[in-house]
Structure 1
Amino acid sequence: MPSEESEVVVVGAGQAGVAMSEHLGAHGIPHVVLERHRIAERWRSERWDSLVANGPAWHDRFPGLEFPDTAPDAFASKEEVADYFVAYAEKIDAPIRCGVEVTSVRRHTHRPGFRVETSDGTIDARFVVAATGPFQRPVIPPVVPDGAVPVQIHSSGYRNPEQLPEGAVLVVGAGSSGVQIADELCRSGRRVFLSVGPHDRPPREYRGRDFCWWLGVLGLWDLETPPQGAEHVTIAVSGARGGHTVDFRALAADGIELVGMTRSYEDGVLRFAPDLAANIALGDGKYLALLRAADAYVERNGLAFPEEPEAHVLGPDPDCVTDPRLELDLAAAGVTSIVWATGFATDYSWLEVDAFGENGRPDQRRGVSREPGVYFLGLPWLSRRGSSFIWGVWHDARYVADHITIQRGYLAHGTTDRPGLTPASGNN
């Protein structure tokens, strides 16, 4: 296979890889972006058919391009999002190579840089940016054995209600994916059980502004570390059907039976934790706290926003919350499918460098890893709360590109008159 050189190799051409390419290009840094599938492939083939972005089009985009066919306050479909990144890559003339899988990255011995092995040959690079994001390997907890129900799938494999066999469905996970899938299944006429864990549920809109706007003006997108114990708490928000606040009481009123966290399985019976009411109350508390913060902001700044006192009224808990089901006989309930909306794990098995902590997670600060020359991009809380969102990854990429530029300056200093030093271009 052929061998070549590139100063920077960016792995992944989703939102993180495209953003990284824009900033590297703006600095004039030679680079290549390698993508094993198509640009923004996960938006196309690993999401359900009816998915739309969870943020409005004015917010969930890069600064340099608006969505061409989506109103600013509307929510782009998954195909529109994927097309957006293809168009953006074309706009910035990003050097993206699709259909190229990176199989390993190793540091050179006795010389700078890295050897990047791919399905299309070898590349020697001075810097490597892992822009594969957080949604790499679907996680299904080993709770229900294979064959216990006809179908068990991860939310990344769910497409539409017709895909599943007739019968009731248990959806495990109450973040954005879980609640939207459960709602769609219920509206299709299915009996649905929704297993609810700890979550954050902001208002979709309050006093005439989307929650994305409120998080911005309140400085909450810029939080640098998650609240204690909230590192993995999911956000229940939806842009479906024009956008609406996720309300578990409303879901119950529509016919979805809420249960606590899925705990164990034995002899055809699932058992749930007795934590449903506490989880609902936790989400309610965060919802109300944001409303109060928004009200204070309006008053402090003398804004003439419409009042919305009814948003503070939650209503009574449904019976399934006050008297929760703790066991479910799957066969007796007619459950034929389980959809696991239980998130993803990262997979950096190809990145064979000393850039990870004892827990296997990237050891980095604002994307700069402890392994000089290796960077991460697109991960939750990389630098702030918004890091894994479309707009947030663009700003993180700018910081990483700036850091690479600074390092290039150090590496270039004096290389023309000092034998044995290689140029910053990465040529070896």
Structure 2
Amino acid sequence: MTDLNQPDLARINAMPTPGSSIDTLVVGAGQAGVAISEHLSSLGVPHLVLEKNRIAEAWRTGRWDSLVANGPAWHDRFPGLAFDDIDADAFAPKERVAAYFEAYAQKFNAPIRTGVDVRKVTRNAERSGFTVETSEGVIQANRVVVATGPFQRPVIPALAPTDERFTQIHSAQYYNPQQLPEGAVLVVGAGSSGVQIADELQRAGKKVYLSVGPHDRPPRAYRNRDFCWWLGVLGEWDAEIAQPGKEHVTIAVSGARGGHTVDFRRLAQQGMTLVGLTKTFNDGVVTFQQDLLENLKNGDKNYLALLDAADAYIARNGLDLPHEPEARSMLPDPQCVTQPILELDLVAAGVTSIIWATGYAVDFSWLQVDTFDAQGKPQHQRGVSREPGVYFLGLPWLSRRGSSFIWGVWHDAKHVAGHIATQRSYLAYQDAAQRQDA
């Protein structure tokens, strides 16, 4: 397979280069960039994809060493290519996911240039299109597709202590337990990243405190079907509007060690100390909200609601799937839940490291066009920006719940590419009409 991170000369020479003009410029060559490139290619839209690092770089260096996809291989992929070396129900390692996107791009000879940083995009005055400033020169583009995804800038909350006694990193900088100093660890955030990192550290022999906030906690699988399948047949992936208050609730799910349901009580049973939402830091002492039990109970409600919906679907459709009554059994609340720690002296507790699994923010400072609201949020309709000629892909809830996931971004990209092709057809008519008039 050709290495798309170091393309062959024939492909480079056939590709638009900085300093020239292009119909559509795509910024980013992760899953969103590869998806839109496929659809633009099939529609005959001339385009160029610029990536400042390597294809799918976030899967390589922006994740910990043992990470696997959170969805099974049959689900976490594009329609046009299956994983040929992984069982359909297994969870692909992160390097294999990155290689998958390379192979997918190679399949249709995607016009991707790596190692090129897009630094500024502005709309042209008194003429169509955009001026795009890159690390290798200026490009003129009729349209710009922003495919940089939602994980652009790791966020560490302002309440983080400025205390050199503790090693503090974001989950994006965590790779393995060996990089941390001796001592206990406080992991702040119990979504998929936080809970998997905390579990890995505890299994490596670390004393771990896990700060648990509000979360959804779906079963990994139920009645012989993965939760990805259940969300699909129940229409949850295609839900177009988030439930009020659920827009940013984290999901605790894991494909690690063959996949398992995240059970916070079981984590406590194996030696982890659960605490509530992190509240304050003051001279080495951290305080927690008194909400741990409430957060766990709400996670249980989410879990049980999916089981109920699955049971109803099975009955309604007469499916022959095995009963699983044990899935509704709950472990008793551990002592750290019934008698929660509300204040912890980190030094006295032996804590030497804090890992902030507190999510990411987008960074569109380079995109200097009129498409953002007062809070800096992109204004768009299914990825079609209010600024004509600018498009977004890969953002959460772009068109549906699944928009930021691998299969979801592929379908969103199809819609965006279709919109671009339609606009090109109108302009083609205008050009033809002008020639006829002349």
Decide which of 55, 58, 67 is 1:51's aligned counterpart: 67
2:184 paired with 1:179 = no
SS at match of 1:288: helix
Alignment match, 1:424:
none
Give the alignment partner of residue 258 of structure 1, picking from 266, 274, 287: 274
Q: 1:193 matched to which residue of 2?
A: 209
Q: Aligned letter for 2:236?
A: L
User: For the residues of structure 2 that align with 1:69 and 1:163, how far apart are their CA atoms?
Assistant: 31
Match of 1:353 among 369, 388, 397: 369
4+ aligned runs moved over 6 Å, structure 1? none
- For residue 141 of structure 1, what is the aligned residue in structure 2? 157
- Contact 2:187 / 2:355 at 8 angstroms: preserved in 1? yes
Establish whether residue 226 from structure 1 lines up as the match of residue 242 from structure 2: yes
Q: 2:346 corresponds to which residue?
A: 330
Taking only aligned residues, the RMSD between alpha carbons, in angstroms, comes to 1.3
Residues 26-425 of structure 1: pairs in structure 2 closer than 5 A? 26-418=42-434
Preserved CA contact (<8 Å) 2:32 2:149 = yes
Aligned to 1:426: none
Q: 1:413: how far off? A: 1.6
Q: Which amino acid aligns with 2:360?
A: F
Q: Is the 8 A contact 1:252 1:258 kept in 2?
A: yes
Does structure 2 conserve the Cα–Cα contact (< 8 Å) formed by 1:150 and 1:337?
yes
How far apart are residue 149 of structure 1 and its match? Answer: 3.3
Give distance in 1, aligned partners of 2:104 and 2:122.
31
Amino acid at match of 2:70: N
* Partners of 2:36 and 2:413 within 8 A in 1: yes
Say which is worse superposed, 138-147 or 375-384, in terms of deviation.
138-147
Q: Distance in 2 between matches of 1:68 and 1:340?
A: 36
Distance 1:298 1:149 in 2: 55
Aligned AA for 1:175? G
In the alignment, does 2:33 pair up with 1:17? Answer: yes
Contact 1:148 1:268 in 2 (8 A): no
| C-alpha distance after superposition, 1:333-366 (max 9, x if no partner) | 0000000000000001110000111111111111
Residues 51, 112 of structure 2: 8 Å contact kept: yes
SS in 1 for 2:178: helix
Deviation at 1:407, TM superposition (A): 1.0
Q: Report the number of matched residues.
A: 421
Query: Counterpart of 2:169 in 1: which secondary structure?
Result: strand
Unmatched 5+ stretches in structure 2: 1-16
Q: Deviations over 1:238-271 (max 9, x none)?
A: 0000000000010000111000011101121000
Identity %: 68
TM-score with structure 1 setting the length = 0.97
Secondary structure of residue in 2 paired with 1:378: coil
Structure 1 residues 2, 216: closer, same or farther in 2, change over 3 A? closer
How many Å apart are 1:69 and its aligned residue? 1.6
TM-score (norm 2): 0.94
For residues 300-326 of structure 1, the C-alpha deviation after alignment (integer angstroms, 9 at most, x for no partner) is 111110000111121321111111100
Give the C-alpha shift of residue 2 in structure 1: 5.7
Measure the CA separation in 2 of the matches of 1:134 and 1:79. Answer: 20
Q: Is the 8 A contact 2:69 2:255 kept in 1?
A: yes
